[in-house]
Amino acid sequence: MACAVQVRNEAGEILAELTTVHDKYVLPDGSEMYVPTDVAWCMTCRAFVLVESLPSPEEQERIAREFHHRTHSDPVLECLLHEARQCAIALSTRRSPPRCLSCGGIRSITLPDDQTPVDHPGGVPVKVHVHHLPVFRSMIDRGRRYETQGTLLRSRQTSDEAQSDGAVGFTLPRPPWSQLKVVWQEGRPSATEIGALRELFPTYANVPLTALSQLPDSSFLDVHCREREARHLQAAAAQRGLRLDVEVELCHVCSCDLTGITTGVCPECGTEVR
């Protein structure tokens, strides 16, 4: 899933909304990995943006092994370690500091990630902080592709991305939303079903086959969208031999089932949903 991050002032007003983990590096062997990012004020854009984080290969390997300790997924660990090795090869020749993912500039001021209030980097007389939301955006939306030098690969964009120039900012979807659940016909995924899953959802395209083959029956996918879009995806999947169930009326904060709720408030977390 792609996480939502906001920059807020002391009064709680939202100054910027950004989506993380949509954008990817193209690694030396042609594989891809998500661009680690920080929230920053770009001197060129004069706006809050995402900039490269550039963790060291050692830090990437540590994160991969911590993830493996929690999940015990050997295929995912293998994939993450491969990314760390390829990234180390690419960054060994890099000389530029972290770049803004919007304009490519290198003049930026990074905000603390722990919600510590700091002076507005743009000179506005207010304190600002980064706020991480328990809200996710569909990974159906493809992000941009970058060289490991931080340069945007415009030739890798789709026509829709080229028209919008891959804007990082977005408007959070209004609740309620739908979530998709994959149901394997034989209780476990077949080659046809895995192929359909990777074709329909770019976020699964680079997941190793061994990991997808272990995906349990009736698993929720990392996809949240409006019901109309979900039904369209359900029909497209059926044409490819893949069954998707649509869970509708889910709270955008806690994913509580809102079917039949008429109060306009989520009974689990109290979020306004109408």
Model pLDDT for residues 111-130, shown as the tens digit of each residue: 998 889 999 998 888 999 99
The answer to whether the beta carbons of residues 184 and 237 sit under 8 Å apart is: no
The answer to whether the beta carbons of residues 115 and 131 sit under 8 Å apart is: yes
At 8-24, the pLDDT tens digits run 998 888 888 887 777 88
13 and 101 together in one domain: yes
268 assigned to some structural domain: no
Q: Going by C-beta distance under 8 Å and a sequence separation of 6 or more, which residues neighbour residue 14? A: 6, 7, 8
The answer to whether the beta carbons of residues 202 and 139 sit under 8 Å apart is: yes
35 and 146 together in one domain: yes
78 assigned to some structural domain: no
* 225 against 85, higher pLDDT: 85
The answer to whether the beta carbons of residues 33 and 27 sit under 8 Å apart is: yes
194 and 217 together in one domain: yes
CA distances from 119 to 14, 122, 174, 198 (A): 15, 9, 31, 44
State the CATH number of the domain containing residue 218.
3.30.1390
The overall average pLDDT reported for the chain is 76
196 assigned to some structural domain: yes
Token duo for residue 123: 């000179």
Three-state SS for 242?
coil
267 assigned to some structural domain: no
193 assigned to some structural domain: yes
At 35-53, the pLDDT tens digits run 888 999 998 888 999 999 8
* 141 against 262, higher pLDDT: 262
Three-state SS for 80?
helix
122 and 41 together in one domain: yes
How many Cα atoms sit within 13 Å of 126 on the Cβ side? 12
CA distance 265 to 263: 5
Instruction: Write out the residue range of the structural domain in which residue 201 sits.
Output: 177-250
At 137, is the pLDDT very low, low, confident or very high (cuts 50, 70, 90)? low
31 and 119 together in one domain: yes
- Find the Cα–Cα–Cα–Cα dihedral 43, 45, 47, 52, rounded to 10°: -80
Given a cut of 80, whether residue 29 has pLDDT beyond it is no
At 200-232, the pLDDT tens digits run 876 676 667 777 787 888 887 766 666 777 888
129 assigned to some structural domain: yes
Task: Compute the average pLDDT of residues 165-185.
Answer: 56
Domains contained in the chain, number: 2
34 and 159 together in one domain: yes
Indicate the helix (H) or strand (E) that contains 118. strand 118-119
User: How do 145-146 and 24-26 pair as beta strands?
Assistant: parallel
| Cα-trace Rg, the chain | 20
181 assigned to some structural domain: yes
pTM above 0.85, yes or no: no
State residue 132 phi and psi, 5-degree precision: -90, 130
* 220 against 196, higher pLDDT: 196
Three-state SS for 165?
coil
265 assigned to some structural domain: no
121 and 185 together in one domain: no
Which pLDDT value is given to residue 198? 84
229 and 102 together in one domain: no
* 94 against 109, higher pLDDT: 109
30 and 136 together in one domain: yes
CA distance 230 to 35: 27
